[in-house]
């Protein structure tokens, strides 16, 4: 072990912040609400309890959710929306009003423990909110003290893209465009207030970027004979999640703050996705999330190689598959539950159920890249009014996108909205995919490997 690592681990061992009474192993759930078919708030809280979750994070300060959580033993994280951060950063009165309206009426009967200012602010394009983040956190912290909310910590969740280097872990370094002006004052604030560095960390995204270089089982936290030894620290890793977490720890150490506690604000694995998205399946999602529970509910705590034996509070994303989340199909398939409340796969966040006690999982079929043609067609149950607008949009992009569905064209018949829109979506996607075009259309479209062509009408496709 190198001298640098010895000093780092010694500081960890001596730091009282790592052994505070509140730091019992507890797995929580992220309760997103971007769906038009989700259960009521009271039903959702019932389902959260059934999952065995002891923490929950919401992405706003939803009054109905906070009321439904009243009287439970579930610790709650509430979020200040991104769009008001800049105003709060210069206005203590506005910060006071937000806390008084959204937190005070529920505290302490609802166990609000964390106020998260914004969500992945540094993942957005450069803007003034970056530099208003910590001033806003200070204002919110002052409000928390003013109203006597003694058990509430203030923080902000950042994604792994706050780092410009994460490999090897000892080379973890924050981005140069935010290191001095944002991260350093953030760490100073978190250290002074004994709060956490909240991080969203997904081994899935790291793996899909380098599936040939990163072993899937290593990314899923499965026991393997694969290890990686950091050439600088000498620390040995047995899974990708530990590597990613330690890269954040080393990045904080480089700025002079080696002892700030980590809190995993989001982690998870998609249970489904688009045809061209590999590894997104129920088998992998269940395997990863069950391993996360096993790791972070272990007693005594396991920690990471850089912080052995340390409890890391952890939130799994997400409670539901949310059908209104934009982006690739995986974004709508991170849930532990379907919107009807049934389990996507059995899981117990309390850690009481052993992995060996779960029933067999369906074998994965998409762990290798898909090879063949893919089409983009209308999703089942798509709103007809919205579909007409999407059809118009796709056809307005030029390049003869919709010529075959005009009167007399080879794909004009059958002359109905769904068939015409499916052709338009496939035609648009095949032409503009390389320029960032997606098969989404606000949730109206879905990829398919089934050829929708008919007769002399040939639908354009994307070939992988």
Q: What is the dihedral of CA 24, 27, 33, 34, to 10 degrees?
A: 130
Measured from the Cβ of residue 310, the count of other Cβ atoms closer than 10 Å reads 20
Question: What single DSSP character describes residue 18?
Answer: G
| Domains of the chain and any CATH numbers | 3-357 (3.20.20.80), 373-463 (1.20.58.1040)
Task: Give me the half-sphere count of Cα atoms (radius 13 Å) on the Cβ side of residue 436.
Answer: 0
**3-class DSSP state of 447:** strand
For residue 393 the two structure tokens come to 């949009």
Question: Are 459 and 453 spatial neighbours (Cβ–Cβ below 8 Å)?
Answer: yes
Model pLDDT, residue 241: 98
Which of 161, 167, 87 has its CA nearest to residue 124?
A: 161
Does 22 qualify as catalytic in the annotation? Answer: no
Instruction: Read off the tokens for 38.
Output: 């989700």
- Which helix (H) or strand (E) is 315 found in, with range? strand 314-317
Question: Is 181 designated active site?
Answer: no
- Report d(CA 428, CA 218) in Å as an integer: 38
**pLDDT for position 38:** 97
d(CA 193, CA 154): 8
pLDDT, position 126: 87
> Nearest-CA neighbor of 208 among 378, 370, 344?
370
- Residues counted in the chain: 464
What pTM does this model have?
Answer: 0.90
Question: Which residues share a beta bridge with 115?
Answer: 78, 154
Element holding 198 (H helix, E strand): strand 196-200
Residue 348: predicted pLDDT: 97
Instruction: Give helix 184-192 / helix 129-146 axis angle, nearest 10°.
Output: 10
Q: Provide the CB-side half-sphere exposure for 210 (13 A, CA).
A: 8
Other beta carbons within 10 Å of 316: 27
Count CB neighbours of 297 within 10 A.
Answer: 22
CB 339 within 8 A of CB 35: yes
Whole-number Å distance between alpha carbons of 174 and 249: 11
Beta bridge partners of 153: 114
Question: What are the phi and psi torsion angles at 262 (to 5°)?
Answer: -95, 145
Using alpha carbons only, give the angle 54, 9, 214 rounded to the nearest 5 degrees: 70
pLDDT score for 16: 38
Cα Dmax for the chain = 79
Q: What is the pLDDT of residue 381?
A: 87
pLDDT number for residue 230: 97
Phi, psi of 283 (to 5 degrees): -60, -50
Q: Which member of 120, 253, 322, 331 is catalytic?
A: 120
Nearest to 122 by CA among 74, 174, 71: 174
**How confident is the model at residue 236, as a pLDDT?**
98
Q: Alpha-carbon distance 82 to 133, whole Å?
A: 9
pLDDT of residue 273: 95
Mean pLDDT, consecutive 10-residue stretches, the chain (464 aa), reads 38 39 82 96 98 97 98 97 97 98 98 98 93 98 97 97 96 97 98 98 96 96 95 97 98 97 98 95 98 96 96 98 92 97 97 93 93 94 93 89 94 95 96 90 93 95 92
pLDDT for position 18:
45
Q: What is the 3-state secondary structure (H, E, C) of 319-383?
A: CECCCCCCCCHHHHCCCCECCCCCECCCCCCCCCCCHHHCCCCCCCCCCCCCCCEEEEEECCCCC
Contact indicator for 78, 114 with CB cutoff of 8 Å: yes
> How far is Cα 19 from Cα 462, in angstroms, rounded to an integer?
54
């Amino acid at each position: 072990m190198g001298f640098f690592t010895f000093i780092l681990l010694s500081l960890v061992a001596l730091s009282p912040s790592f052994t505070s009474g509140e730091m019992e192993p507890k797995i929580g759930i992220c309760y997103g609400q971007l769906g038009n078919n989700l259960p009521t708030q009271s039903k959702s809280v019932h389902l959260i309890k059934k999952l065995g979750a002891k923490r929950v994070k919401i992405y706003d300060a939803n009054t109905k959710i906070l009321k439904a959580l009243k009287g439970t033993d579930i610790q709650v994280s509430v979020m200040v929306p991104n769009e008001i951060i800049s105003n709060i950063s210069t206005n203590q009165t506005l910060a006071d009003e937000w806390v008084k309206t959204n937190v005070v009426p529920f505290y302490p009967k609802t166990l609000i423990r964390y106020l998260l200012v914004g969500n992945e602010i540094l993942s957005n394009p450069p803007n003034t909110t970056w530099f208003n983040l910590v001033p806003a956190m200070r204002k919110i912290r002052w409000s928390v003290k003013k109203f006597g909310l003694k058990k509430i910590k203030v923080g902000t969740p950042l994604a792994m893209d706050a780092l410009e280097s994460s490999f090897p872990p000892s080379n973890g370094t924050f981005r140069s465009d935010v290191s001095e002006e944002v991260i350093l004052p953030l760490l100073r604030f978190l250290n002074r207030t004994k709060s956490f560095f909240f991080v969203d960390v997904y081994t899935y995204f790291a793996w899909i970027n380098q599936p040939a270089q990163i072993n899937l089982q290593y990314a899923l936290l499965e026991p393997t004979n694969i290890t990686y030894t950091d050439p600088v620290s000498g620390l040995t890793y047995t899974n990708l999640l530990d590597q990613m977490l330690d890269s954040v720890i080393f990045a904080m150490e480089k700025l002079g703050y080696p002892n700030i506690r980590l809190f995993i604000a989001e982690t998870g694995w998609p249970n489904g996705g688009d045809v061209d998205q590999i590894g997104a399946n129920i088998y992998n999602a269940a395997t990863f999330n069950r391993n996360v529970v096993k790791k972070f509910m272990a007693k005594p705590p396991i920690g990471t190689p850089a912080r052995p034996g340390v409890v890391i509070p952890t939130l799994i994303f997400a409670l539901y598959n949310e059908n209104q989340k934009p982006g690739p199909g995986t974004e709508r398939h991170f849930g532990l539950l379907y919107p009807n409340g049934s389990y996507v796969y059995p899981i117990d966040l309390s850690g009481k159920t052993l992995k060996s006690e779960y029933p067999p999982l369906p074998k994965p079929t998409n762990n290798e890249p898909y090879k063949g043609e893919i089409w983009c067609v209308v999703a089942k149950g798509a709103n007809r009014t919205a579909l007409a607008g999407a059809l118009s949009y796709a056809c307005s992009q030029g390049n003869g996108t919709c010529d075959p569905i005009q009167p007399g064209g080879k794909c004009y018949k059958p002359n109905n909205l769904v068939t015409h829109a499916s052709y338009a979506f496939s035609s648009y996607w095949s032409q503009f995919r390389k320029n960032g075009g997606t098969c989404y259309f606000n949730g109206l479209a879905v990829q398919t490997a089934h050829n929708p062509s008919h007769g002399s009408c040939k639908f354009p496709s994307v070939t992988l």
